[in-house]
Chain A
């Protein structure tokens, strides 16, 4: 036993972990929901810390522009065009062969989320869009599984920890997801690797507290940091649950899990294309969006008129042909060049934001 614990010696030395805490960590299952900039940092820490079972979920494939911040991936993974979940599983096994690691290549959605988080001690957010987070929030609150929210764009990062029915959930703070196209994404506005590293590490520490049986010591505030400006805010949200008549954790009305809050997709008849239909009644400013997208290096043939915004982007079922993305004023989009819903949703989350 002593030999087995030796690799964890430096964290066992910590008074708030100790051997007892390490046993808890080893007996835990952590789900890393999304394995990009945040998820790779989280999976790296949790694998090294000896979390007994690590389930890493992601729908996307590795691209060159990921390497600036997604710490588990290297040039070789990129050249192999591996799914992120598979590459992360491989790398985490090399880091720690004594734990169970499962990489799952899938889109997290209302239909599969409950199965994906089954048996989890904690779910850690590595998602790249709001819709997935609201689906995760519903599922975790419903099954009373603690989860750690985290998000980063530009040099700004946010995180909070949710213990269902004890601390406020994500919908106590943000009643609903912002409409698509309204928020910058890492692919349109850029992101600093330091901030994804910082938020990912913060989230991983929160997850370890929960796994080690130290749930009482979690971060009880909404933590926001702007690394470039050096501004830190810790919003007091302890009372939010009492104040808000939260549809999710108070009324147990799981709208996103039941698909009511989620977008839908339609395969277009005879076409190598998927249409994404957002749920919101958004009205996009296509001209402003075009301006934002102009700085995105992997986008070509950007055109906009009063009816639609259109551009080409890399990826798709035939990588040589790429994707053609057409966005309409109500935020619906046609993603041409793929029949796969997950590929279309990834492209939507990247360039439109969801």
Chain B
């Protein structure tokens, strides 16, 4: 079996990840912050360690500004619904996943906010100038992807973040790092990111059910509304959610076992070396782009320059249906890829691939060049 669907979730996970989860479950499964006994404090310590590791990895100084979430969608909703107020203006792009599109569209349809979506350039990225051109005094939030899940093109987040801070300091920047976190280097404060949302289960090798929202230092607590409230373990006498990060946004018992896996995943990534991981993924991309790009039966979408790529490559095949091709790859070749719209309808409308979508090849760190060649050979056999 060749797994080329790492943009959906990474597979396999490093053995360290499930070992850490099993160990936590078997030996240390208390409820963090809910008691003073050894298992509760042990779980609390594990969670604090993970907060430290994750915030450090992404360049956020204060680990209290690492909020654990269910996934990236949860983190994006927390930021979008937490920040936007009636009368605000928001800017997004056509490259976004529905986890950004839908919360914004609902708020716009309900008349609460106004919304602009910028288009994409020939490489498959949004342009900084297009975003800046849309900023008004009412603009509160730019919610935008770092590396889109259909095209896998790395977008100029640092340039945008720095420009926004210099020219429009009233605008907050929310970055959807679903595809880039763990793959492409991110230093949130240096890049001018105010909110960084990402899942644990993709580039960070953690299990599903994990994710985080990192909140930059210039964002004040009162800029955010908690959209999920409940018990935090501390200060139970108050009728209100404590106004203190991370608890302000973290009502309810967290996914402790998943967070144990997240810590192991980030530790694995640091041990392997993020540069090595990125170089390997780009080598795989390069192999796919060179082989498929040379064959006129395949159309490749987005830039063909591997240094500008994150994890995914979208293609279509002449006279072949994407859903059928994916089924054939699975059945006859034991290759797992994803066909369709990948929850990003506006991207496909911009590319002209709506509604049938594309075939997305997303190799990961554990794939080999031989596997990339096998995928190419299978696609060529199907195309002929």
A contact set with B: CB distance below 8 Å: 268-273, 275, 306-308, 326, 328-330, 332, 334
Chain A at the B interface: SS class: loop
Given contacts A307-B382, A326-B324, contact A269 B331 (CB under 8 A): no
Which B331-359 residues have a C-beta within 8 angstroms of A?
331-332, 339-343, 345, 348, 354-357
B77 on interface, CB distance cutoff 8 Å? no
B356 touches A270 (CB 8 A): yes
User: For residue B341, which residues in chain A have a CB less than 8 angstroms away from its CB?
Assistant: 269-270
B115 on interface, CB distance cutoff 8 Å? no
Q: Across the interface, name the chain B residue whose C-beta is closest to A324.
A: B321
CB-CB nearest 9 A-B residue pairs: A269-B340, A270-B341, A307-B328, A270-B355, A269-B341, A328-B331, A328-B327, A270-B340, A268-B323
Name the distance in Å between A268's Cβ and chain B's nearest Cβ.
Answer: 5
One of A268, A270, A328 near B328 (C-beta < 8 A): A328
B328 touches A271 (CB 8 A): no
One of A271, A308, A326 near B356 (C-beta < 8 A): A271
User: For residue A272, which residues in chain B have a CB less than 8 angstroms away from its CB?
Assistant: 355
Given contacts A269-B340, A270-B348, contact A334 B357 (CB under 8 A): no
Number of residue pairs spanning A and B whose beta carbons lie under 8 angstroms apart: 47
B327 touches A269 (CB 8 A): no
Please encode chain B, from 316 to 329, with 1 for each CB lying within 8 Å of some chain A CB and 0 for all others. Answer: 00000001100110
One of A270, A307, A330, A332 near B357 (C-beta < 8 A): A270
A-B contact pairs, 11 of them (CB 8 A): A268-B340, A269-B339, A270-B348, A271-B340, A273-B323, A275-B323, A308-B324, A308-B328, A326-B324, A334-B323, A334-B324
Name the distance in Å between B301's Cβ and chain A's nearest Cβ.
Answer: 15
A270–B356 CA distance with the chains assembled, in angstroms:
7
One of B332, B355, B382 near A271 (C-beta < 8 A): B355
B343 touches A269 (CB 8 A): yes
Name the distance in Å between B29's Cβ and chain A's nearest Cβ.
Answer: 28
Name the distance in Å between B382's Cβ and chain A's nearest Cβ.
Answer: 7
B348 touches A306 (CB 8 A): no
User: For residue B343, which residues in chain A have a CB less than 8 angstroms away from its CB?
Assistant: 269
A268–B356 CA distance with the chains assembled, in angstroms:
10
User: For residue A307, which residues in chain B have a CB less than 8 angstroms away from its CB?
Assistant: 328, 331-332, 382
A308–B323 CA distance with the chains assembled, in angstroms:
12
A270 touches B354 (CB 8 A): yes
One of B332, B342, B356, B357 near A329 (C-beta < 8 A): B332
A116–B323 CA distance with the chains assembled, in angstroms:
35
> Which of A273, A307, A334 has the largest count of B CB atoms less than 10 A from its CB?
A307
A329–B331 CA distance with the chains assembled, in angstroms:
7
Q: Across the interface, name the chain B residue whose C-beta is closest to A269.
A: B340
Taking A269-B357, A328-B327 as known contacts, 9 extra A-B pairs with beta carbons closer than 8 A to each other, sorted by chain A number, are A268-B340, A269-B341, A270-B355, A270-B356, A271-B357, A308-B328, A326-B324, A328-B331, A334-B324
User: For residue B327, which residues in chain A have a CB less than 8 angstroms away from its CB?
Assistant: 275, 308, 326, 328, 332, 334
A326–B342 CA distance with the chains assembled, in angstroms:
22
A332–B382 CA distance with the chains assembled, in angstroms:
18
A180–B342 CA distance with the chains assembled, in angstroms:
30
Name the distance in Å between A321's Cβ and chain B's nearest Cβ.
Answer: 14
One of A269, A275, A306, A328 near B342 (C-beta < 8 A): A269
User: For residue B348, which residues in chain A have a CB less than 8 angstroms away from its CB?
Assistant: 270
A7–B141 CA distance with the chains assembled, in angstroms:
76
A326–B322 CA distance with the chains assembled, in angstroms:
13
A327–B342 CA distance with the chains assembled, in angstroms:
23
User: For residue A273, which residues in chain B have a CB less than 8 angstroms away from its CB?
Assistant: 323
Q: Across the interface, name the chain B residue whose C-beta is closest to A327.
A: B327
User: For residue B357, which residues in chain A have a CB less than 8 angstroms away from its CB?
Assistant: 269-271
One of A270, A271, A330 near B331 (C-beta < 8 A): A330
Q: Across the interface, name the chain A residue whose C-beta is closest to B327.
A: A328
> Which of B328, B341, B355, B382 has the largest count of A CB atoms less than 10 A from its CB?
B328
One of B324, B332, B345, B355 near A306 (C-beta < 8 A): B332
